[in-house]
């Protein structure tokens, strides 16, 4: 294929770019994804309604006057209306207008425009403006929350606050405290690059893809894979603009430092004094986090390894073997247990190259293809890493082997046992704090590949995993989708990530993914399992499953919302939390509400 694609922006050219040293990674992904997309999938069709899409209950003259006022406050060029054709772009050059991985028509979950604050004071100005005009605002850091809604607001016509473009400084990097103080626009890529340039030997805990915001991911309670893999647990101190415009600092940050300096213990102690409020600013719409402290792990020696397991049906036993190792911290990080089909998908293979029928690829076909790979014939693959001095790691590996080799047919691979292109080498980078892009490869599974995740939490006991796994497997088959589960294992639970990959140019493919997740959320809740995070279109349903004692938790959430955001302007509906003026007016979306993603979306527009 001809390489006529424009180069991916570097971190020097754009806050959302890639470090120059990692450009080859970006070029490889871009080429692969481009080669599997059709023009329709790449760029969505022009829109037919009057643009920009207005927020609810705001007429055009009022909106225009409000925008004019905001432009006067921020500067003309920092308020941009969403009036152009929507372009899905790709991971590294993504839109801040809508969800690039749309489940509904792309023009459904759209903004009216975007503004670009340069400071906390600018954010205050925007918030006060929104209160004046009752215009919903939706902050994003980078907008790379892919699989969960990307940059899109839940309410059509909201104004996006793109924090990342101009607020992207590493405010502090402390090699002794091993911490940093960050603005929303700092990505895993850029923090990694900044640390490298500083000469400090610190790791950034990175997720599978390195383009996200460190602050944004932590606030959404995302996961990474070093011993610091629980991102929210490793944040320390916030600065937040409340929905009414006041600024607060949490933890030790509430105590002023000497002569107006930041408190010297802000990034050392998470709690401060009094109620620990940080939690209400994660997965919520109670404030705009403009600064966050984060702990960084000192670099250490490490060895990543891959275990393969022979039998499909052995996963409950695998999980039961993992549990004591995880609780005892013999597994020092967040390892992943992946179905063997992912050994195929991670190579960037297309489904069509191994199977030409509709419906899920049959297990025997998957098995045959997997057998040709370096992992050999197997059903499950476990990616782990041991840390510390050589003697430590040798001892840990011995314990790990002894445990897993109880299962007949288990094999261990070290990086030296597999070709240099094998995924184990990418895993070794991720598990030692180096951001990569390799995980994008499985989007090539179908043409115009997009993904949306069903992400329940499961206790690490064999019988629980079996129940959830069987549920997901059965529903995926029913909806004709390929099932590739990844289990991210923490001490006592696993995040069961079921990514559904669909063709975003195909209404029937979207419908299958959408309906499958709706069904799974309900199935899981009936059995007592719930999601840790979800796409915008499922947030009401997921929030609705956390309904013990007559929905006591949501009642509390709503009381907080109404107290903190009395005019209901900040990300209405985010995480299922609606401010009073939106409640019970038909905004909530759920299972069985008759809404068809291919024919009617979140707004009023019909799609024919």
Catalytic positions = 148, 532-533
Peptide linkage before 199 cis (omega within 30 of 0): no
Nearer to ligand EUG, 194 or 234 (CB): 234
Rounded-to-integer distance, Cα 374 and Cα 186, Å: 37
Q: Token pair of 65, please?
A: 């006057």
Binding flags for ligand EUG, 408-447, as an x/- string (CB under 6 A)? -------------------------------x--------
Choosing from 100, 489, 497, 536, the residue that interacts with ligand EUG (CB under 6 A) is 497
Q: Find the radius of gyration of the CA atoms of the chain.
A: 23
Q: Token pair of 244, please?
A: 């009414």
Choosing from 194, 234, 434, 486, the residue that interacts with ligand EUG (CB under 6 A) is 486
How would you class 383 by CB atoms within 10 Å of its CB: exposed for 0-12, middle for 13-18, buried for 19 or more?
buried
Nearer to ligand EUG, 241 or 318 (CB): 318
Q: How far, rounded to the nearest angstrom, does the alpha carbon of residue 145 sit from its chain's CA centroid?
A: 4
Residues 155-214 that bind ligand EUG (CB under 6 A): 208
Using CB under 6 A as the binding rule, whether residue 487 contacts ligand EUG is answered as: no
- Shortest distance in whole angstroms from residue 147 CB to ligand EUG: 3
Nearer to ligand EUG, 122 or 439 (CB): 439
DSSP assignment of 155-204, as one string? STTEEEEE-TTT---EEEEETTTTEEEE-TT-BHHHHHHHHHHHT--EEP
- Shortest distance in whole angstroms from residue 224 CB to ligand EUG: 9
| Span from 258-266, 410-418, 493-501, 562-570 in contact with ligand EUG (CB under 6 A) | 493-501
- Shortest distance in whole angstroms from residue 597 CB to ligand EUG: 19
Nearer to ligand EUG, 314 or 486 (CB): 486
Rounded-to-integer distance, Cα 188 and Cα 143, Å: 14
- Shortest distance in whole angstroms from residue 453 CB to ligand EUG: 4
Residues 221-240 that bind ligand EUG (CB under 6 A): 222-223
Choosing from 340, 373, 488, 513, the residue that interacts with ligand EUG (CB under 6 A) is 488
- Shortest distance in whole angstroms from residue 495 CB to ligand EUG: 6
Nearer to ligand EUG, 162 or 499 (CB): 499
Number of helices and strands (H, E) in the chain?
15, 19
| Span from 69-77, 458-466, 491-499, 584-592 in contact with ligand EUG (CB under 6 A) | 491-499
How would you class 45 by CB atoms within 10 Å of its CB: exposed for 0-12, middle for 13-18, buried for 19 or more?
exposed
Q: Which stretch of DSSP H or E encloses residue 454?
A: strand 449-454
The answer to whether the beta carbons of residues 284 and 138 sit under 8 Å apart is: no
| CA-based nearest residue to 516, from 431, 582, 597 | 597
- Shortest distance in whole angstroms from residue 233 CB to ligand EUG: 15
Q: Say how many residues touch ligand EUG, by CB under 6 A.
A: 13
Nearer to ligand EUG, 369 or 499 (CB): 499
Choosing from 154, 156, 393, 533, the residue that interacts with ligand EUG (CB under 6 A) is 533
How would you class 58 by CB atoms within 10 Å of its CB: exposed for 0-12, middle for 13-18, buried for 19 or more?
middle
The secondary structure of residue 19, as a DSSP letter, is -
Choosing from 453, 494, 516, 577, the residue that interacts with ligand EUG (CB under 6 A) is 453
Helix H segments across 311-453? 315-327, 341-345, 363-371, 390-404, 423-430
Bridge partners for 307 per DSSP? 382, 412
Q: Token pair of 374, please?
A: 């370096």
| Span from 111-119, 238-246, 492-500, 573-581 in contact with ligand EUG (CB under 6 A) | 492-500
Binding flags for ligand EUG, 101-140, as an x/- string (CB under 6 A)? ----------------------------------------
The answer to whether the beta carbons of residues 202 and 299 sit under 8 Å apart is: yes
Nearer to ligand EUG, 393 or 533 (CB): 533
Q: Token pair of 172, please?
A: 């502090």
Nearer to ligand EUG, 148 or 404 (CB): 148
- Interface ranges with ligand EUG (CB under 6 A): 147, 208, 222-223, 439, 453, 455, 486, 488, 495, 497, 499, 533
């Amino acid at each position: 294929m001809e390489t006529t694609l424009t180069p991916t922006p570097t971190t020097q050219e754009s806050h959302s770019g890639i470090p120059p040293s990692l450009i080859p990674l970006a070029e490889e992904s871009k080429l692969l994804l481009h080669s599997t997309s059709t023009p329709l999938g790449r760029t969505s069709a022009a829109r037919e309604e009057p643009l920009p899409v207005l927020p609810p209950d705001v007429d055009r003259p009022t909106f225009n006057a409000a925008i004019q006022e905001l432009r006067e406050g921020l500067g003309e060029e920092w308020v941009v209306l969403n009036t152009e054709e929507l372009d899905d772009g790709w991971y590294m050059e993504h839109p801040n207008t809508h969800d690039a991985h749309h489940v509904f028509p792309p023009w459904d979950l759209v903004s009216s425009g975007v503004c670009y604050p340069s400071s906390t004071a600018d954010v205050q100005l925007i918030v006060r403006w929104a209160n004046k005009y009752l215009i919903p605002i939706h902050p994003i850091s980078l907008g790379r929350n892919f699989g969960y809604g990307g940059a899109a607001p839940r309410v059509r016509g909201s104004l996006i606050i793109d924090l990342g473009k101009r607020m992207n400084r590493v405010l502090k990097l402390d090699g002794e405290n091993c911490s940093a103080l960050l603005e929303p626009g700092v990505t895993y890529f850029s923090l990694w690059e900044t640390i490298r340039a500083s000469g400090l030997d610190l790791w950034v805990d990175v997720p599978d893809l390195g383009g996200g915001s460190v602050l944004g991911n932590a606030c959404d309670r995302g996961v990474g894979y070093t011993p610091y893999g629980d991102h929210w647990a490793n944040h320390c101190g916030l600065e937040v603009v409340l929905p009414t415009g006041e600024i607060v600092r949490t933890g030790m940050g509430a105590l002023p430092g000497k002569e107006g300096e930041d408190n010297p213990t802000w990034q050392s102690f998470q709690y401060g004094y009094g109620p620990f409020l940080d939690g209400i600013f994660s997965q919520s719409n109670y404030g705009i986090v403009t600064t966050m402290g984060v702990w960084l792990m000192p670099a250490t020696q490490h060895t990543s390894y891959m275990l393969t397991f022979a039998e499909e049906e052995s996963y409950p036993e695998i999980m039961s073997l993992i549990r004591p190792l995880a609780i005892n911290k013999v597994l020092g990080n967040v390892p992943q247990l992946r179905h063997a089909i992912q050994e195929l998908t991670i190579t960037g293979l297309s489904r069509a190259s191994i199977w030409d029928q509709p419906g899920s690829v049959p297990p025997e076909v998957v098995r045959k293809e997997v057998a040709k790979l370096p992992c050999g014939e197997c059903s499950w693959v476990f990616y782990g890493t041991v840390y510390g001095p050589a003697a430590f790691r040798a001892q840990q590996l011995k314990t790990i082997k002894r445990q897993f080799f109880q299962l007949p047919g288990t094999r261990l691979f070290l990086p030296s046992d597999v070709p240099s292109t094998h995924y184990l080498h990418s895993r070794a980078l991720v598990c030692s704090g180096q951001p990569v892009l390799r995980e994008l490869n499985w989007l090539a599974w179908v043409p115009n590949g997009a993904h949306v995740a069903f992400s329940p939490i499961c206790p690490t006991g064999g019988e629980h995993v079996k129940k959830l796994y069987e549920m997901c497997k059965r529903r995926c088959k029913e909806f004709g989708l390929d099932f590739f589960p990844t289990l991210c294992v923490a001490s006592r639970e696993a995040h069961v990530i079921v990514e559904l990959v669909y063709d975003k140019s195909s209404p029937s493919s979207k419908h299958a993914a959408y309906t499958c997740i709706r069904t799974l959320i309900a199935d899981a809740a009936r059995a007592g399992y719930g999601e840790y995070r979800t796409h915008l279109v499922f947030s009401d349903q997921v929030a609705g499953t956390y309904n013990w004692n007559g929905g006591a938790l949501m009642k509390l959430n709503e009381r907080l919302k109404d107290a903190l955001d009395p005019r209901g302007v900040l990300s209405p509906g985010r995480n299922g939390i609606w401010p009073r003026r939106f409640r019970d007016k038909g905004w909530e979306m759920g299972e069985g509400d008759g809404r068809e993603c291919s024919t009617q979306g979140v707004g009023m527009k019909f799609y024919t």
